[in-house]
Amino acid sequence: SWLSHASAPLTSRAKRHVLLVRPSITPTMQSLMASNALAGARGAYAAPNSRAKLNRRVAMSTRRPAAGAVTVRAGKTPDGPKVAIAGISGAVGTEFMRVLVERDFPYSEMKMLASARSAGKEVEFDGETYVIEELTEDSFDGVDIALFSAGGSISKKFGPLAAAKGCFVVDNSSAFRMDPDVPLVIPEVNPEAMADYKLGGARKGGIIANPNCSTIIALMAVTPIHRAVGVKRMIASTYQAASGAGALAMAELEQQTRDVLAGDPVTMEIFGWQYAFNLFSHNAPMTENGYNEEEMKMVKETRKIWGTEDVQIAATCIRVPVMRAHAESINLELNGELSEEEARAILEKAPGVSLIDDRANNKFPTPLDASDMDDVYVGRIRRDISQEGNNGLELFVCGDQIKKGAALNAVQVAELLL
């Protein structure tokens, strides 16, 4: 069955993926550079010749043989669902392919979709060459599952069209997250929210939303505590990687680092300020209450996922010069008492969570520990000494923003459809 196939342990097939990269570019950077990325860049604050420098950086990172940038293998099976990836040329689109391989996700047919400027380019997947097709209203005819990461406006236009044709859409944008009729799902946290979304079931198509990356990473760590004693108040401070702003932001961070070390003018195409050797408030638009949209996503999404308004949440989201994985400092006020030892025991058993909490050697999670990994890493587990008794807890959490924060979570949601 599809379910047993998707749940099987990793086989050697999952390891047979080859990155075709230029020697000067790391595999992580190669996987994240979209071939159409520079065409979408906008920058009012560019230094002289900065666009040319960034163009050279991105071109180096995206240059590929005619056969395609990524060769991967997954679980092709005659009775598997027909799958489409919308936004295949982006960072998360590429990661979708990698995760499908790692989890040996079953499929009978695969369709690669992107914008008109990427249409006609080729990618290799499971030993076959696929020509990227332009995303149109007819793209989802006969498709069972569509993984979307093409931006909110594209999702709003094509997501409902796909669902109306009987396709189950797993959308990585913010377009439908707060729609009361759309499940917002982290499979380890609230799979029951999509209990009636099943291939072959009574529901014929629908949309399931992927939460924001910072919300996913936080709730993977905090939900086991919430289930045990209840969380009354959560304060989160995030340290968010360049990957959250896309492939071009990652390229610019690398280019800015070269610029600063060489004493050259700093390239500023993506943000209006220096990123390398600096940090700044998250670039999401500000709202009237003084919080930016990224911070308010954490507030609203947490309440929806937990199904309660009876939790007070505040967040401060910061961009830091890290390439791929986010970090979060989380302070909890609990409804009941919970010791450090009890919290550690709970987290040790939590699915998708790994502990790095070695006080003796001052070893705790870092973004490098979490990069390219499935699990969310938790450490610095300690009592909040500003609160009396054991009603307060402090955690430090790291998770891969592109993987568990986006592509992996979406594929796990797709597995729940099987």
The DSSP string of 359-404 is TTTTB---HHHHTT-SSEEEEEEEE-TTSSTT-EEEEEEEEETTII
Across 288-298, average pLDDT: 95
Q: Residue 88: its pLDDT value, please? A: 95
Task: Using the predicted structure, report yes or no on whether residue 285 has a pLDDT greater than 50.
Answer: yes
Residue at 368: amino acid letter: L
Task: Using the predicted structure, report yes or no on whether residue 60 has a pLDDT greater than 60.
Answer: no
Task: Using the predicted structure, report yes or no on whether residue 265 has a pLDDT greater than 50.
Answer: yes
Count of beta carbons in the 10 Å neighbourhood of residue 391: 17
Q: Which of 53, 409, 400, 87 is nearest to 248 (CA)?
A: 53
Q: Is 213 a catalytic residue?
A: yes
- pTM of full prediction above 0.85: no
Q: Is 326 a catalytic residue?
A: yes
Cα separation, 243 vs 238, in Å, equals 14
Question: Which residue would you say has higher pLDDT here, 246 or 415?
Answer: 415
What phi, psi does 268 have (nearest 5°)?
Answer: -135, 80
Q: Which of 177, 134, 172 is nearest to 413 (CA)?
A: 172
Give Cβ neighbours of residue 390 (< 8 Å, ≥ 6 apart). Answer: 334, 337, 338, 339, 383
DSSP 358: B
Q: Residue 126: its pLDDT value, please? A: 80
Q: Active site residue: 167, 213, 317, 398, which one?
A: 213
Residue at 264: amino acid letter: D
Q: Which of 73, 144, 134, 71 is nearest to 102 (CA)?
A: 73
Q: Residue 25: its pLDDT value, please? A: 35
Confidence grade of residue 74 (pLDDT, cut at 50, 70, 90)? low
Given the structure tokens 């947490």, which residue do they identify? Answer: 302
Q: Active site residue: 5, 17, 282, 326, which one?
A: 326
Confidence grade of residue 71 (pLDDT, cut at 50, 70, 90)? very low
pLDDT tens digits, residue range 195-222? Answer: 999 999 999 999 999 999 999 999 999 9
Across 300-309, average pLDDT: 97
Structure-block tokens of residue 90: 């982006």
Helix (H), strand (E) at residue 98: helix 91-102
Mean pLDDT of the chain: 85
DSSP 277-340: T--EE--SPB-TTS-BHHHHHHHHHHHHHHT-S--EEEEEEEE-S-SSEEEEEEEEEESS---H
pLDDT tens digits, residue range 90-116? Answer: 889 999 999 998 999 999 999 999 999
Confidence grade of residue 247 (pLDDT, cut at 50, 70, 90)? confident
Cα separation, 336 vs 344, in Å, equals 16
Q: Which of 386, 234, 380 is nearest to 310 (CA)?
A: 234
> 24-49 burial, b if ≥16 CB within 10 A, otherwise e?
ebeebbbbbbbbbbbeebebeebeee
Count of beta carbons in the 10 Å neighbourhood of residue 337: 11
pLDDT tens digits, residue range 328-344? Answer: 999 999 999 999 999 99
Residues forming a β-bridge with 314: 235
